[in-house]
A and B are shown apart, each in its own frame.
Chain A
Amino acid sequence: MLRKLFHESGFVGALIGLLLFAAFPFYWMVITAFKRDSDLYNLDFNPFVFNEPPTLEHVNLLFTQTAFVRWVENSLIIGLAVVAITLVTAVPAGYSLARMGGRKAESLGIGIFLTYLVPPTLLFLPLARVISLAGLQDSLWSLVLVYPTFTIPFCTWLMMGFFKSVPRAIEEAAIVDGCSLLGAFVKVVLPVSLPGILTVVIFTFTLTMQEFIYALTFISTESQVPVTLGVATDLVRGDIFYWGSLMAAALIASVPFAILYNLFLDRFIMGITGGAMK
């Protein structure tokens, strides 16, 4: 009996502790974004509540006096472009490796996957040179060129796992019905693997949007930055942090991730561990 009580209180304690630790910063984001400056910067006020009525002035400032919207557009452009490149390269590669079978394919698959380990903080120096040689410095297209270096390895491995679970029988049926090998792939395997491809799209999109190091290295013009870089660096005028707007920006930019991850979490898990546990 006492043991059960101990277990229960331990459970509740852990639950509350973890929740506070994980979610408090977001609560803080929300409340800061809508607090008046006079409320925010007053040390006598209770910081956890609205002591003065909430305001939309920070959000307003964000949308009217900063390039926030432009940054979001940039992020979207980069995201979509990288998704396109990744799909075109990683999906066929994953299929080929899944079907080729044997040691060669497994080794190549692991090899491709391991390039994911090569860190941006090693590659950014030579890549900076490559980017300037290509004339892409300070342009968001530099990121479109570079981001696939980590999305392709990971997504190839993901798709390898997905394709392995597609039964060969349906491809063989298509071939007997008259398709070429490529035709079978396009007409039969791809439609069946849409869930896997969707996972790749979501993963790639979120990975590119979260990236920071390459963006910081290659882009300095405010009009070309993606949203996460812009919020972190360009919303600081001089040495003064406009926390209200900063938090408003952080909040707005975070929401899509919160939604996407929660919607697709099960897919993510299946993708990561499914691939690892084949």
Chain B
Amino acid sequence: MSADYAAIAPPSARRVRWSLDHADFLGSLLVAPAVLFILCLVAVPFFLAIYYSLSAYNMGTLSFSFVGLDNFIAVTKSEIFRRSLANTLLFTVASNLIALVLGKIAALVLLREFRGRMVVRCLLILPWAVPVALAAITWRWMLDSMYSVINWVLVHSHLVPAYVWPNWLGEEGLAMISIIVIQAWRLFPFSAIIFLAGLTSVPKTIIDAAYVDGAGYWRRTFQIVLPVILPIMMVAMLFGLVFTFTDMSVVYLVTKGGPTNSTQVLGSLAFQVGILSGDVGRGAAISLYFFPFLLVATFFLLRYLRRREI
């Protein structure tokens, strides 16, 4: 909005209230509610979290006492915390990688014109569309220690002896694999959508030029298409990584962090310590460990958001 509007408007328009015509004022006014909301309910709580982490604040005692970095030190020394951190990294990287690969394959499948393509697209979207709570309990049922349909299939194809089937949610390694698979299942449709959108946004001219220049399929894909869609891919991937890294839904709903903290992640640990056990100071310290990762992600996000070739 520029001052030009005020200049070209006829006198009758200028008679309207000053505030509605003054561009800069109006602009700030329109953004104000959103900014205010975010400041009050995101920025302030964020700093509150920092404040809590530096104090011994218990839900029970409701008393504050400044303890400096004690919480952070205690947390870092905690075996469970370190386990959670490692789990979180594994969980995040593995599930996003699988989702990336599956998403790319799904995008390539959906690029082809075939009958029933729309139906397939509808079905492939479902894991992303459905609320996590509903999906998680479904998977929990599918991986039930007694009635798992997957185990039934394994037993009946004679890959596993009867009654000695894997306890997907009850054994340490298997539980981690389970939640990784579930998270990848949730994420891949989003990855596919982004891939599709990116691929279709590459101007055909460039692809034709590469073909005429003698580039075969693989060269075209890796040297021309991929670099051009890289910024949008990176933005989507960074979001996926941040989202998974800080998420606790799948873990809480499917394994509750068990067995014996083998699937505990930072988010679920923060929940357990800060909310369930009421040790707010320590809980805040745990969740503040997200901060460095968020900073790094933000840095890269900004770079890629600005650097768009198309």
Contacts and interface: CB of A to CB of B under 8 A. Distances in A.
Contact of B129 (A18, A216, A258): A258
Interface string B32-66: 01110110011111101100100000000000000
Closest 4 CB pairs of A and B: A119-B246, A126-B48, A93-B34, A121-B267
A180 to B, nearest CB: 4
Given A11-B109, A156-B34, A181-B20, A28 B147 contact: no
A185 to B, nearest CB: 8
B142 interface: yes
Interface stretch (A52-60, A62-70, A239-247): A239-247
Contacts of A47: 147, 149, 152
B298 to A, nearest CB: 6
Nearest to A92: B30
A199 interface: no
Interface in B262-291: 266-267, 270-271, 274-275, 280, 283-284, 287-288, 290-291
B33 A92 contact: yes
Contacts of B137: 231-232, 246, 250
Nearest to A249: B134
Interface in B121-135: 121-135
Interface in B2-40: 5, 8-10, 12-13, 16-17, 20-21, 23, 26-31, 33-35, 37-38
Nearest to A260: B129
Interface stretch (B167-175, B203-211, B301-309): B301-309
6 contacts: A112-B34, A125-B280, A127-B45, A145-B41, A261-B125, A276-B232
Contacts of A97: 31
Contact of A25 (B102, B105, B142, B239): B142
B193 interface: yes
Contact of B8 (A14, A21, A172, A211): A172
Given A217-B271, A262-B122, A277-B310, A118 B129 contact: no
A232 B253 contact: yes
A124 interface: yes
A176 B291 CA distance: 50
B136 interface: yes
A277 B203 CA distance: 13
A273 B197 contact: yes
A96 interface: yes
A200 interface: no
Contacts of B1: 99-100, 181
A190 interface: no
Interface of A: 11, 14-15, 18-19, 21-23, 25-26, 28-29, 32, 40-41, 43, 47-48, 88-90, 92-93, 95-97, 99-100, 108, 110, 112, 114-115, 117-130, 145-146, 148-149, 152-153, 156, 172, 175-176, 178-183, 206, 209-213, 216-217, 228-229, 231-232, 241, 243, 246-247, 249-250, 253-254, 257-258, 260-262, 265, 268-269, 272-273, 276-277
Interface of B: 1, 5, 8-10, 12-13, 16-17, 20-21, 23, 26-31, 33-35, 37-38, 41-46, 48-49, 52, 102, 105-106, 108-109, 112, 120-139, 141-142, 146-147, 149, 152, 185, 188-189, 193-194, 196-198, 201, 232, 235, 239, 242, 246-249, 252-253, 266-267, 270-271, 274-275, 280, 283-284, 287-288, 290-291, 294, 297-298, 301-302, 305, 308, 310
B141 A247 contact: yes
Contacts of A115: 38, 42-43
B139 A112 contact: no
Nearest to B10: A178
B45 A126 contact: yes
A23 B126 contact: yes
A99 B29 CA distance: 13
Contacts of B301: 114, 117
Contact of A232 (B33, B41, B133, B197): B133
Contacts of B16: 180, 183
B247 A121 contact: yes
A255 to B, nearest CB: 9
